[in-house]
């Protein structure tokens, strides 16, 4: 609730023209942990880097431009339930923007745990980088940068579903609403 998003990236797995979205976000404050993600306060606290309140309408328009009419939008992230979704929900609330009711989330961390369980293995490390190594995916870009992680996740997600023998319907059944993630005051609709 007290922290801010400093970078966002999305990729439509169906591909096509304009299938990616990426930007730094101006948090209007000091950026800690630059040693982890490589993003410094100086990089984002500039007039030409959008603030979240300016970015939300652009983000929503990008997602609307990619979605099929009348359906749900399924967004995947690694550790979505405990990290990405609470951050997004908090930013939408702070900016007094309505969180889309048709957004469902898939947490690939949960899928990775399911995969380990199905193989009868004890989960040692199921970080995105550990999965990259496990699936023998070459490193491209810097870990913990939004688009590099999205690119990696777009390769890992189909591999996880293949190992688990899950269809798109199975993924949707395992998805969750933002209200299902931590620090939520609302009950689940599903």
What is the mean pLDDT for each group of 10 consecutive residues in the chain (190 residues)?
90 91 95 90 95 96 89 92 93 94 94 88 81 90 87 95 93 88 48
Q: Say what the pLDDT of residue 86 is.
A: 93
Q: Say what the pLDDT of residue 120 is.
A: 79
Q: Say what the pLDDT of residue 184 is.
A: 42
Q: Is 89 helix (H, G, I), strand (E, B) or coil?
A: helix
Q: Where are the beta strands (DSSP E) in 7-163?
A: 7-11, 20-24, 73-77, 103-107
Task: Pick the catalytic residue from 35, 37, 78, 144.
Answer: 144
Catalytic annotation on 144? yes
Q: Say what the pLDDT of residue 123 is.
A: 64
Cα-atom radius of gyration of the chain, to the nearest Å? Answer: 17
Buried/exposed code over 97-116 (b: 16+ C-beta within 10 A; e: otherwise)? eebbeebbbbbbbbbbeebb
pTM reported for the whole predicted model: 0.86
Largest Cα separation within the chain, whole Å, is 51
Q: Say what the pLDDT of residue 180 is.
A: 80
What is the distance between the alpha carbons of residues 121 and 175, in angstroms, rounded to a whole number? 23
């Amino acid at each position: 609730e007290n922290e801010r998003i400093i970078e966002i990236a999305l990729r439509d797995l169906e591909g096509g023209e304009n299938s990616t979205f990426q930007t730094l976000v101006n948090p209007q404050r000091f950026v800690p942990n630059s040693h982890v993600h490589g993003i410094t306060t100086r990089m984002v606290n500039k007039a030409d880097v959008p603030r979240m309140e300016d970015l939300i309408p652009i983000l929503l328009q990008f997602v609307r431009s990619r979605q099929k009419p009348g359906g749900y939008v399924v967004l995947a992230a690694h550790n979505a339930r405990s990290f990405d979704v609470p951050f997004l929900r908090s930013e939408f609330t702070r900016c007094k923007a309505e969180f889309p009711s048709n957004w469902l989330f898939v947490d690939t961390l949960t899928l990775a745990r399911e995969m380990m369980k199905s193989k009868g293995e004890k989960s040692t490390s199921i970080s995105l980088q550990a999965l990259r190594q496990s699936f023998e995916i070459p490193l491209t870009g810097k870990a913990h940068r939004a688009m590099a992680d999205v690119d990696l996740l777009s390769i890992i997600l189909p591999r996880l579903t293949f190992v688990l023998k899950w269809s798109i319907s199975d993924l949707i059944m395992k998805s969750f609403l933002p209200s299902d993630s931590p620090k939520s005051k609302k009950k689940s609709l599903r």
